[in-house]
């Protein structure tokens, strides 16, 4: 684990009313939330995408540091898992161990990616934890993403994590429960839709996910959540339009609206079933005015304070 990031930022005065995240992080051993960085774009590289997402964890931390505290919250930063020597599989294994250990310690992990290869590491950690401590529980994955990421490939990439999750589930005779929100027809081949259907996945296309159709979307989300006991929520920032999230590995032409996302995300959070959250595909190399890193930090902030 890499622990080189230094939490610092604006200081307006003494007292709790002036506090920002950099003032309160790592101040207690018994925290509620744990930040874990995942510095990797090896999966994006293997998927023939544009690299740069390895720099995202600290870019997001920088944007989080100055956000204000409006209610007591306790957060610990556990550092960053780094993909070294192109060994993605080792990095995913290390991330899984960090996630599982955090859950064992009663923490709610928030993983800052990194390419969407982060997802298999995140899921594996939750899977290990549930297998060890609550094997009767059913895990549900909710992925906000323009892409299914159910690609068949010879090695793990940013496009394979949920097919890997399906196979891991199958190996242990566990049901694979996957809902993808924001799927773009123009960003997925027919074989990916066929794979999703064969695996009995649920999905909502990007054109369905809008404020005018919100009740139907929430009904579909509720129907999915009712089937499971705990949730892994993963947000690929390319689910938003390029104007909102320019700094991603694969910018979206259409995307879903941020206000609609917020309403869905808050609704999911209110179920109390989220055990694990991660953010993927922030790519500072292509960001404009830190917009995408700010968006990632904003989503984490909403998660911290919408409890």
Report how far apart the first and last C-alpha atoms of the chain are (Å, whole number): 28
Q: Which of 64, 118, 66 is nearest to 94 (CA)?
A: 118
Site of tokens 């097919």: 163
287 annotated ligand-binding residue? no
- CA 56, CA 36: separation in Å to the nearest integer? 12
On whether 30 is known to bind a ligand per the annotation, the reply is no
Q: Copy the structure tokens of residue 202.
A: 């649920």
Query: Phi and psi at residue 175, in whole multiples of 5°?
Result: -70, 140
Measured CA to CA, the distance from residue 283 to residue 281 in angstroms comes to: 6
Using alpha carbons, list the distances in angstroms from residue 302 to 77, 93, 215, 296. 18, 28, 21, 10
Residues 6+ apart with CB under 8 A from 192: 147, 148, 150, 151
Q: Is 86 marked as a binding-site residue?
A: no
- 41 carries a ligand binding annotation: no
Give binding residues for Mn(2+) as ranges: 116, 145, 147, 149, 236, 238
Give binding residues as ranges: 116, 145, 147, 149, 236, 238
């Amino acid at each position: 684990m890499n622990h080189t990031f230094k939490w610092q930022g604006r200081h307006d005065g003494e007292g709790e009313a002036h506090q920002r995240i950099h003032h309160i992080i790592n101040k207690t051993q018994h925290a509620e939330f744990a930040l874990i960085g995942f510095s990797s774009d090896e999966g994006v590289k293997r998927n023939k995408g544009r690299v740069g997402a390895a720099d995202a964890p600290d870019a997001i931390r920088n944007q989080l540091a100055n956000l204000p505290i409006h209610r007591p919250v306790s957060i610990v930063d556990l550092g960053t898992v780094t993909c070294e020597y192109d060994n993605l599989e080792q990095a995913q294994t290390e991330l899984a161990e960090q996630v599982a250990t955090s859950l064992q310690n009663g923490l709610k992990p928030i993983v800052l990616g990194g390419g969407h290869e982060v997802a298999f590491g995140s899921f594996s950690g939750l899977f290990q934890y549930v297998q060890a401590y609550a094997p009767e529980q059913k895990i549900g994955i909710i992925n906000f993403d323009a892409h299914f990421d159910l690609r068949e490939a010879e090695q793990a990439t940013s496009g394979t994590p949920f097919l890997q999750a399906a196979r891991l589930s199958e190996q242990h005779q566990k049901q694979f429960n996957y809902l993808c929100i924001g799927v773009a027809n123009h960003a997925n081949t027919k074989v990916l839709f066929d794979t999703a259907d064969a695996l009995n996945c649920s999905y909502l296309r990007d054109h369905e996910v809008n404020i005018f159709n919100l009740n139907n979307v929430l009904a579909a989300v509720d129907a999915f959540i009712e089937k499971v006991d705990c949730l892994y929520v993963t947000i690929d920032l390319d689910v938003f339009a390029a104007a909102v999230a320019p700094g991603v590995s694969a910018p979206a032409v259409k995307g879903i609206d941020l206000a609609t996302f917020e309403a869905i995300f808050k609704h999911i959070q209110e179920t109390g079933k989220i055990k694990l959250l991660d953010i993927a595909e922030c790519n500072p190399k292509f960001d404009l005015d830190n917009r995408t890193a700010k968006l990632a930090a904003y989503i984490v902030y909403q998660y911290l304070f919408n409890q």
